[in-house]
Structure 1
Amino acid sequence: MASWSRNPRYLAFIFLAILATLYLLGSFEGEAPPVTRNSSIEDHDLPNRLARSNKIYNKLLLDRKELIKKFGPTPNDVALFPPNKDPWPAYTVWDFFPAAYNCPFEIQRLGALGDGGKWVCGITRVETKPDCIVYSFGINYESSFEAEILANTDHCQIWGYDFSVTSFGPEIPRDQAHRTHFHPYGLAGTDKHGPDDVQKMYTIESLMKMNGHTHIDILKVDIERYEFETLSALIKPYLSSGKPLPFGQLQLEIHLWHFSFAEFLTWWESLEEAGLRPFFTEPNLVYQNYNRGGTTDLAEYSFINIKGDNIFIKDPPRRERPAEGGRHVPAPTI
């Protein structure tokens, strides 16, 4: 006869074990807990992630030099878009500048698919940041990117600039309009005004001074080739002083009209020297479709700034809050 049938205690034990198993199984069959926003943006592994990303990108810099030798051998000998199948294998300028830097956080497209949306690194880093600042140059009545930043953050204030339109696009919700600020200004390498004070142009630093800002978390620039003049003028004094650029990341459309490979390489390397690293790219295939048979000389790039202490590469300092007995303990990170 089985031992459990001879001793009631065994039977009771088996019965309790079955009940416990059913209880545990039932606790996993309910609805999944709701997804909540991060209560803290502190990431203790962030330095290691950045170190790995830097190592990967430094390897890319060496590979670029070898590719220039292969198709050059100097930058002056490299064509942006080779006109035929010689040399082979074929290449384009964009093969020299892949988005090889690993964003240490989630990468998310904000805004419409197709034209209008931009790829952002770590929007969760600013979702509750009280002093989140976004600048957007080039509106053209399409504001899906800006609208999704508002939807994904609690406090981000957006400054928009475009002298060709008079407001943000219709995507901005009315109940969030108080977090947006539009001006019909253009972006340039120097401050300048047109006849009758129209088409006002300002540098980024001039606009930041006007607005009382010392930093920009996210900077979007789509200004039809003026990006070369504008960013060159912005970067130059920071390279001379060794200070970090005043923004955390950059969403940029590049227009390679009337450029040589050597000129573009020099400009791109100035971005890298200033600390900008591309983490995402996509060609502008809409433009390519409109100009069938031509070259793909427009591309979207997203960069993270690896210098300084912006929110995408450094955790904010831990604040202290008073505790009982006058002793201070670290407060949760915002």
Structure 2
Amino acid sequence: MAKSPFVLTVQRHPRYTLALAAFVLCAYWFLSTPTLPPSPVRYNANNELQARLEREERKYRAMLPQRQELITRYGPTPAQVVMFPPDQDPWPPYTVWDFFPPLYNCPHELDRLGALGDGGKWICGMSRIQDKPDCVIYSFGIDSTYLFEATLLQSTRFCQVWIYDSTKGAGAEGHIPRALRHRAHFGKLALGASDRHGAGDEPKTWTLKSLMAENGHSHIDFLRLDVEGWEWETFRGIVRDFTMERGNPGGGGPHAPNKDNATSGWGVAEREGVLPFGQLQIELHVWNQRFQDFLEWWELLEVAGLRPFHNEINLVYANYNRHSGVELAEYSFINIRGENAFGVALAAAHSVS
């Protein structure tokens, strides 16, 4: 039987046998070696970033007396401020949104992700999470396209995105490109201020604290909420679950004067503790809200460490509901407390300034 040219070559040139054996061993080692997880990202102590954050905080606190002056001018108390003044004399030139400007500048690049029109969201510092191995994103309340969540997945290497909605269940993963679905997780549930997810509860409602524990998460890099008016109660629960009042506010209501808050610039007691996310994007629905309640809720976010860096009024809703006020607005907040991807953290290996 005639031998193949390959066998003849190996017999005549033993060095080819050694080369072949080395190739086989290398291929076996490459294919059998488990893939190591990516090294954790650590952020350099950046003095310039620290200085910018401190400047923004000083500027933000300097705004608080101006807010009070505006309330005094058009109130003079929060209970007397109208959310959307009527079109009649004396025509006060404001809406509720003028009391809550996003004056805290994003300390990184600012990007708008998702749809060009309705549905797009603003995020500060995408570069801080695009290569972050333990990146965690939660998104509550989904539009019909999932474009924002898909864009987040496309823009990052390792981010895992948990997508929740009380009306969407099986088949939701079909909205995410197939190549990205291994990093997308879906659940049919609502976010709330208390846990109601027993056998007879519908819809299943989870607090953020319980849901994070269920998923085994200690942090969320980016949290997005669009819960159609339930944000007021829900976020009071989140602040209550993760922070506590600093000292005794002395009672008397959220805007009653007391010695603890006299110099703080806020009418609510300051709070200790760290909210478990680095950044928040939330749509506010002020349907039937009173100004004093909105103010108390907003200040609760402020004393818990959140600072607004961007807002976008929902003009699509305003266009289709011209008989009412401009009642919907998207706000983006950065968390200035604790160590998170968007603030100042400790220096270590695999660092990003």
Structure 1 match to 2:73: 70
Q: Say how many residue pairs are matched.
A: 285
Match of 2:315 among 256, 260, 285: 285
Task: Report the counterpart of residue 27 of structure 2 in structure 1.
Answer: none
Aligned twin of 1:223: 227
The answer as to 2:154 corresponding to 1:124 is: no
The yes-or-no answer on 1:154 pairing with 2:184 is: no
The equivalent position to 2:186 in structure 1, one of 182, 189, 194, is 182
> What is the aligned counterpart of 2:107 among 99, 104, 108?
104
1:247 is aligned, of 273, 277, 299, to 277
Deviation at 1:41, TM superposition (A): 5.7
**Is the Cα–Cα contact under 8 Å of residues 43 and 347 in structure 2 kept in the other structure?**
no
CA contact (8 A) 2:43 2:344 kept: no
1:191 is matched with: 195
Letter in 1 for 2:83: L
Deviation of 1:317 (Å): 3.3
> What's the offset of the Cα at 1:40?
8.7
**Structure 2: 5+ residue stretches without partners:** 1-40, 246-271
Q: Is the 8 A contact 1:140 1:169 kept in 2?
A: no
**Mapped partners of 1:66, 1:258: distance in 2:** 24
Counterpart residue number, 2:332: 302
Instruction: Confirm or deny: 8 A CA contact 2:192 2:234 kept in the other structure.
Output: yes
Q: Which amino acid aligns with 2:216?
A: G
Query: Contact 1:71–1:87 (CA<8 Å) still a contact in 2?
Result: no
Listed one character per residue, the Cα deviations across residues 76-116 of structure 1 (whole Å, up to 9, x for unaligned) are: 11000111333444210000001111110011001102221
- Given that 2:43 and 2:348 are in contact with CA atoms closer than 8 Å, whether structure 1 keeps it comes out as no
Question: Where do residues 54-65 of structure 1 align in structure 2 (5 Å cutoff)?
Answer: 54-65=57-68
8 A Cα contact 1:139 1:162, kept in partner: yes
Distance 1:121 1:333, change over 3 A: closer
Deviation track 1:245-292 (CA, whole Å, cap 9, x = no partner) reads 000010000000111000100000000000111100011111111112
Match of 1:271 in 2: 301
Distance 2:351 2:139 in 1: 31
- 1:20 maps to what in 2? none
Please name the residue that 2:137 is paired with.
Answer: 134
Aligned to 1:95: 98
Q: CA deviation at 1:165?
A: 1.2
Q: Tell me which amino acid in the other structure corresponds to 2:279.
A: Q
After TM superposition, give the deviation of residue 60 of structure 1 in Å: 1.6
Tell me if the contact between 2:173 and 2:186 (Cα under 8 Å) persists in the aligned partners.
Answer: no
Q: Distance in 1 between matches of 2:284 and 2:105?
A: 20
Query: Which of structures 1 and 2 has the larger relative contact order (alpha carbons within 8 angstroms, sep 6+)?
Result: 2
Q: Deviations over 1:23-67 (max 9, x none)?
A: xxxxxxxxxxxxxxxx99644411011011112211221110110
What's the CA shift string for 1:168-217, capped at 9, x where partnerless?
Answer: 47552110100000000111111114874431010001100000000000
**Alpha-carbon distance in structure 2 between the residues aligned to 1:168 and 1:304:** 29
Unaligned runs of 5+ in 1: 1-38, 320-330
Tell me if 1:172 matches 2:176: yes
Structure 1 equivalent of residue 51 of structure 2: 48
SS in 2 for 1:45: helix
TM-score (norm 2): 0.77
Letter of the aligned partner of 1:146 in structure 2?
E
Inter-partner Cα distance in structure 2 for 1:41 and 1:219: 21
Distance 2:120 2:64 in 1: 28
Q: Distance in 2 between matches of 1:286 and 1:169?
A: 27
Task: Provide the alpha-carbon RMSD of the alignment.
Answer: 2.0
Paired residue for 1:260?
Answer: 290
Q: Aligned pair 1:236/2:237, yes or no? A: no
Contact 1:157 1:179 in 2 (8 A): yes
**Cα displacement (A) at 1:117:** 1.2
* Maintained 8 Å contact 1:135/1:219: yes
**What letter is aligned with 1:119?**
W
Give the drift of 1:159.
Answer: 0.4
